[in-house]
Amino acid sequence: MFVLRVPIAKAEADTATDAVLWALWPETTAAAALEIDGAWRLEAYYPEEPDTVRVAELLSVALARDIESNEIVLDQLAPRDWVTSSLEGLPPVGAGRFLVHGRHDRDRVGPHRIGIEIEAGLAFGTGHHGTTKGCLIAIDRILKHSRPVNMLDVGTGTGVLAIALARATRQPVLATDIDREAVSVSRANARANQAASFVDAVLADGVTAPAIRARAPFDLVVANILANPLTAMATGIARITAPGSLLVLSGLLTWQGRQVIAAYRNRGFAVRERIALDGWLTLILQRR
């Protein structure tokens, strides 16, 4: 994994971030504009080493000013189990009625909480990230007023959101991911949380897989991925949801909300609620 950093002006933050996120090559996995000690910079992450000359050319066009490749700092990140590292010394995470915790914190689950035990692993989703916590809060709020019976968790990762839905509703949840390891992890976590009889974790890319079509229409869909894939999936998600169904969408930075909302509004969804945590946004939408 490589991280690229380049100084920018505050007024250039959105334009610069959009430019690298939407570029066909080099393809970034994430990007954000950050203010550190009063100075702004763009950070972009790449699975393979990007060509800094090409990035400089891309930003020069987007920002309408010359960006030299020597202004760009490129570092390679050492291999690391980021999930394990993120859990070191962190307490359980409370989100509404849910408490996400490790094995060593089982005794901290109160009588009115739903404990979800997630150990460090290779898949994303331990509850400590703003997107996962935002989704759990959204699920808790939805379940206070709705009783969904057919649910889908897209990009399930550790399975934490599917487990939360299953534990709270005792209804079936289809959990999908494009990563085989994530599917294995989510199945193991479902068993560990006495939710295996409700959570069906399968390998699937997007929302057009046969396993998804066979279970549609869904009355609740949760997707904690990234803004661009969420936007691309808008039509597909509209096709597999029932009238009045609810969506929980996350994995987007707060400034990306307009992009995602516009895509779903054009497919008949209305915004019910926005939840902002640590610079990340979770949306609750409802199909008209």
Q: Are residues 19 and 149 in the same domain?
A: no
Backbone angles phi, psi at 216, to 5 degrees: -70, 155
Q: Tell me, yes or no, whether 108 lies in a domain.
A: no
Q: Tell me, yes or no, whether 190 lies in a domain.
A: yes
Q: Tell me, yes or no, whether 84 lies in a domain.
A: no
Count up the domains in the chain and report the number. Answer: 2
Please write the tens of the pLDDT for every residue from 210-236: 999 999 999 999 999 989 999 999 999
Would you say residue 123 has pLDDT above 70?
Answer: no
Q: What is the pLDDT of residue 86?
A: 46
CA 245 to CA 90: how far, in whole Å? 35
Check which CATH number belongs to the domain holding 216 and give it: 3.40.50.150
Contact predicate 154/178, CB 8 Å: no
Please write the tens of the pLDDT for every residue from 155-181: 998 899 999 999 999 999 999 999 898
Check which CATH number belongs to the domain holding 57 and give it: 3.30.70
Q: Tell me, yes or no, whether 53 lies in a domain.
A: yes
Please write the tens of the pLDDT for every residue from 139-158: 999 999 999 999 999 999 88
Q: Are residues 22 and 155 in the same domain?
A: no
Q: Are residues 137 and 230 in the same domain?
A: yes
Q: Are residues 154 and 234 in the same domain?
A: yes
Q: Which of 43, 60, 76 is the last residue of a domain?
A: 76
Q: Tell me, yes or no, whether 218 lies in a domain.
A: yes
Determine the 3-state secondary structure of 222 from DSSP: strand
Q: Which residues contact 144 (CB under 8 A, 6 or more apart)?
A: none
Q: Are residues 139 and 28 in the same domain?
A: no
Q: Are residues 60 and 133 in the same domain?
A: no
Rounded average pLDDT over 8-12: 94
Question: In terms of residue numbers, what domain contains 276?
Answer: 126-287
Q: Are residues 23 and 144 in the same domain?
A: no
Q: Tell me, yes or no, whether 102 lies in a domain.
A: no
